[in-house]
Each structure stands twice: as structure tokens, then as C-alpha cells.
Amino acid sequence: MSSTPGPFKKTIALVGLSGVGKSSVGRRLAAALSMPFRDADAEVEAAAGRPIAEIFAQYGESAFRDGERRVIARLLAEAPHVLATGGGAFINAQTRRLIKEKAFSIWLKADIEVLARRVGRKESRPLLTGKDPLEVLAAQARERYPVYAEADIAVETGDTPHQVAVEAILKALAERAEMLS
């Protein structure tokens, strides 16, 4: 294993499309860095007292994004940690500005076909419910990739074990440690 960078004075925020592994990779990255892990989607659900799918169904995407922005702002005010954001969080200009100001952002990327296969197995993603995951993700990629490209670094996760992605992130962080200290 490469030498582990750290300790960091900034939160490390993972951004990217649904299914790219922000939560799974984030947990492993946090463990490797001896940092706490926070999942923005789980925090939104806890704050709302209901699953994200219910928030979408009852209040719509706009209300969800507003709550998501407030939750991420609260999380970014906490001690440094690894933060898995929702797929659309970084698209919101206010949220993106907060992340750029208070965190180091990492765009996790993978082939759309890989992501479609991963998310097709889950029923908990409201933007994909009842739709062809490949079509939705391809449209999201066209819209979101130019914004994700504003992240501090991008790391290809591919169709490999999560630990491979963690190693790639650790290497990228070691190369940019001065930005995090």
C-alpha cells in the first residue's frame, strides 16, 4: 500500500454519478485515512425522518436539493471527514461553492455501462425509478460532467474492487497533500 497522506485540515468530498461508489469507496477511504465518514444521503434521510424516495415523491426534487444543501453545509462545518455526496449535490451552485470553499473535492468516474449495471440492481434511486438506467445516466453524464470537472481532482474507479479506487485516491491525495494541509 502507498504511504497514507494526512492528517488533513479539510473534509474530502466525493462527487460523481449514482453508482460510482462514493459511499462504498468513501467508507474505505475514511478508514485508510483514519478519518470519520459521513454520507450526505443518509444524513438527509436522518434529518427528514424518511427515505429520499419519499422526500422526492412527497415534496419533489427541488425540496430535496434544498434540504441536501443545508445538510451538506452543516456537515462541512464539522471537523474534517470523508463525505460522500449525492449524485446531484455538486450540481447545485451553492453546494458546489461550499464544497470548493471548505473541502477538497474528488470526482469519482466510471463507464456509464458499469454504473447502469450497478444502479439497475437498486430500487432506492428516485431519479432512476421506472426508467432505463443507461439512458438516465448517459443524460446525467452529458449534463453533469462539465460541472464535476470543477472538482479538485478526478479519479477513474473503473469496474474494479473498491480498494483499487481507494489506492488511486490515496496516490492522488499524496501528490496534492499541500492542498489539504
Give the span between the Cα atoms of 15 and 147, in whole angstroms: 10
State whether the Cα torsion 104-128-21-140 is positive or negative: negative
Helices (H) and strands (E) in the chain, counts: 9, 5
For residue 85, name the pLDDT band (cuts at 50, 70, 90).
very high
Instruction: Using pLDDT thresholds of 50, 70 and 90, give the confidence band for residue 97.
Output: very high
Query: 26 and 15 in contact (C-beta within 8 Å)?
Result: no
Residues 99, 76 contacting (CB under 8 angstroms)? yes
Buried b (16+ CB within 10 A) or exposed e, 152-178: bebbebeeeebeebbbbbbeebeeeee
Nearest CA to 11 out of 84, 109, 88 is that of 84
Average pLDDT value over all residues in the chain: 87
What's the CATH fold of domain 11-175?
Rossmann fold (3.40.50)
Query: Residue 118 — pLDDT band, cuts 50, 70, 90?
Result: confident
Is residue 77 very low, low, confident or very high in pLDDT (cuts 50, 70, 90)? very high
pLDDT in tens, 18-74: 889 899 999 999 999 999 999 999 999 999 999 888 888 899 888 888 999 999 999
Residue 175 has pLDDT above 60, yes or no: yes
Q: What cell does 143 get?
A: 449534463
Q: What pLDDT does 22 receive?
A: 94
Outline where DSSP puts E strands in the chain.
11-15, 37-39, 82-84, 103-109, 153-156
- What's the rounded mean pLDDT across residues 6-12? 80
- Supply the pLDDT for residue 135: 86
